[in-house]
Structures are given as structure tokens and as C-alpha cells.
Amino acid sequence: MTDVLLRGGLPWGLGAPADVLVRDGRIHLVAQGVEAPGARIVDIAGQLVLPGLVEAHCHLDKTLYGGPWVPHSADDTLAGRIGNDLGRRAELGVPSAERIAALLALMSAAGTTHVRTHTDIDPLVGLRGVEAVLEAAASSPVDVRQVAFPQHGVLINPGTAELLEDALKSGVEAVGGLDPAGIDRDPVRHLDLVFGLAERYGAHLDLHLHDGGSLGGWELELITERTRVLGLGGRVTVSHAYALGQLDESYQDRLAQGFAEAGVAIATAAVYSFPVPPIKKLRAAGVTVACGHDGIRDLWGPYGSGDMLERAMHVAYRSTFRRDEDIELALEAATYGGARALGLESYGLSPGDRADLVVVPCGGAAEAVVVHPARTLVMKDGVVLHN
Ligand SMILES: [Zn+2]
């Protein structure tokens, strides 16, 4: 494998231009004036070098991307969206490995190197979504990790718990959950079940929590308590956590402290119709914050481009961030935060880290988020995918 020397870029966080020498799939050296005879040299003078972007919450199995535009006609209620999804999946050929592959190619060209995707598991679709994602991921450079996701409830949907376990047995990396109170009507049993699966299979747990207000707050306490008692810190993520954006400041502070101590991460998609978690407060408390698109061009909604810099812009915009240092928090969620939530090893811009890199023609992180221009270069495991 030929060495690659990225000449004159601005590695994020370094504060000065430096060359990045890539050897055998890893970052070998970050320094000024590197000499590397025989290396392929790419001049990126003055351009920002970021670690590979991490999409920490999406639904690849649901996507319609790559086919013709499908007009979105669902009424805007949860029941309407679920009905639209279930009613039209078969007709539109969802899940489709071909469409998932097309979306992964789009994401990769935009610099995404790692994806966590929530794959529907229910008695109707069985494990077909898991298989379609595996098939598409096999021919993609993107590192794809699945969450076995009970989109239609666990306790209220007999057969789903067994299928979640089958998915974990087949090698799916994480188990999901969905509104233990609002959907499944029994938060204690729901959480016992999904935490039990995570513990038994050494899996991550990433739970969708849309339940709002004090109900959602209480469920966040239950999740934090279980994470601490079971010693699952670093392996538990709560996705959406809309309640966090609705609670008063002192309750937010208490929950944030608990997440930091127990090792619970928060993933936000900055969904346009719900409050965004208080990212600044969470980061100040030491909580891992990740982000993602949620659905991309599917029966739940028409939006999503697959570009994590654009998604970081949505996160910053919805958080009403204006200062560069605040906007940078959104980029942190799309990179290091996502990497911590997913448990990625050797992630970053230091010698020894995997050479998963993206170069953007910008002078700094806030500009990269706001402008999100076309990527100059994308590299995965030391291989230049796009230049
Ligand atoms: Zn989701």
C-alpha cells in the first residue's frame, strides 16, 4: 500500500498547518515539512483536515434514496406516519439493499466513514432489514453498525423480543428500544428486557426516547440508574431525548450529571418539529453528544442529504448557536462524539489512529459546518476514496 502525504493542511484542533503522512491504513506522522520519498503527495494547503464523519443515528433500511422521488403524503401524526410506513413498504420494495448501497455511496462521498443505523425488527419484516443492510455494507467502504430496532414496540408486539435476540445472535452490534412508557406502556419491563439483552450479548444499547416532559425525564433517570448498576457505561445511548429540551434547568443539570457519571450518551437528529437537547450544557457536564440524520428520504419524511456537515449545521442552527466555539460543538457531535457513542477505537487525528479522514476547503470548523462545501478528499483506512 503506497504511503499518502497530505501536504500543508490544517488538522482540526492542532492550531497550525501540518503535513499528515498515512502509512498502512494509519496516520503515521503529523508534523511540518515531512519528507516521504515514494509517497503519493496530495496538496491540501490551507484546507481543514477532519477525522471521518460519524453518522450516529439513521435508518438505512427505510430509505427510498436512489429511486424516483416518492411524494410524501402521510398525515403528520405518529399513527399516520406508522400507517404510511407499514402500508407502503412492500409496494415500494423497502428494505432494498440496492437503495441502501446508493445511500451509503452518497454518505461516503460526503466524508462519512462510520454509520450507526437503526434497523426495523418486527414480526412482519423479521430480519430482512438486517440482511439488506449487511448486503449493502459488504460492498461499501463505510463501517456500518446496526441497532436491532423495535419500531413498532416490543411488549405490545408479540414475537418482537425473540427477534431482537435473534438479531443479536446473528451479530448485530446493538439492541434498540422505543418509548418504554409512551409506546410499550411499561417502562420497567421494557428497560429490563433491552438492558438484559445488552448485558447478555455484550451489545450496545441505543434507545429511541420521544416521550416528553416529566415522563421522559423519569425514563431518563431509569435508564441512567440501570446503566450505572449494570456497569454498562460507554455502551448506552439515548436517541432524541426530546424531554431534555423541555425540562427546567435544574432538572436538566441533574440529568446531565447522571449521564456523565453513568456513561450515558445522547444522540440528536435535530428533528425539525421537536426540541433539541441542550448540547452546550451536556458537553459542559462531560456528556457524550452524537448526532445523525434520523430518516433519510423515506416514508417517515422527505428530508435528508446524507451529508454530516450539513446535519451538524442543522444541529447548530436549531441550538441557536452563533459563536464559532458553539458551532464547533455540533461538529464535535458529528465526529468525536459519535465515535465515543459507537465505541470506535483509534479514532482521531493523532499518529496511530486509523486514517479515516476528510478534507474540506475551509479555514476552520465553524466555516466547515456553515458552508459544508463539497469535500476535497475522503479517505477510509488509508485508501483515498474521493479526491
Ligand atoms: Zn430514529
What confidence tens digit (pLDDT) does each residue in 116-166 have? 999 999 999 999 999 999 999 999 999 999 999 999 999 999 999 999 999
**Residue 76 — pLDDT band, cuts 50, 70, 90?**
confident
Q: How far is the CA of 39 from the centre of ligand 1 (A)?
A: 42
Edge to edge, what strands does the sheet with 174-178 contain?
53-58, 112-120, 143-149, 174-178, 204-209, 236-240, 264-268, 289-291
By DSSP bridging, strand 26-31 and strand 18-23 are antiparallel
Q: How far is the CA of 51 from the centre of ligand 1 (A)?
A: 24
Q: How far is the CA of 58 from the centre of ligand 1 (A)?
A: 6
Q: How far is the CA of 294 from the centre of ligand 1 (A)?
A: 5
Other residues' Cβ atoms within 10 Å of the Cβ of residue 86 = 16
Q: How far is the CA of 85 from the centre of ligand 1 (A)?
A: 13
Among 15-24, 89-98, 219-228, 311-320, the range scoring the smallest mean pLDDT is: 89-98
Whether the pLDDT of residue 74 is over 90: the answer is no
Q: How far is the CA of 184 from the centre of ligand 1 (A)?
A: 17
Task: Give me the DSSP letters along 45-86.
Answer: TT-EEEEPEEEEEE-GGG--TTS--------SSHHHHHHHHH
Backbone angles phi, psi at 234, to 5 degrees: 85, -10
10 Å CB burial of residue 13 (0-12, 13-18, 19+) is: middle
Distance of CA 173 to CAs 31, 95, 115, 148, 164, Å? 36, 19, 12, 8, 11
Closest of 379, 260, 279, 253 to residue 331, by C-alpha: 279
Model pTM? Answer: 0.98
Q: How far is the CA of 14 from the centre of ligand 1 (A)?
A: 34
Q: How far is the CA of 293 from the centre of ligand 1 (A)?
A: 8
Q: How far is the CA of 42 from the centre of ligand 1 (A)?
A: 38
Residues, beta carbon < 5 Å, ion ligand 1:
294
Closest of 41, 92, 47 to residue 66, by C-alpha: 92
Average pLDDT of the chain, as a whole number: 96
Amino acid 363: pLDDT: 96
Other residues' Cβ atoms within 10 Å of the Cβ of residue 92 = 14
Whether the Cβ atoms of residue 100 and residue 138 lie closer than 8 Å to each other: no
Q: What number is the average pLDDT over the span 227-246?
A: 97
**Which amino acid makes up residue 54?**
V
Helix (H) / strand (E) element for 165: namely: helix 160-169
Rounded to whole angstroms, the Cα distance separating 189 from 195 reads 10
Other residues' Cβ atoms within 10 Å of the Cβ of residue 362 = 21
Q: What number is the average pLDDT over the span 62-84?
A: 85
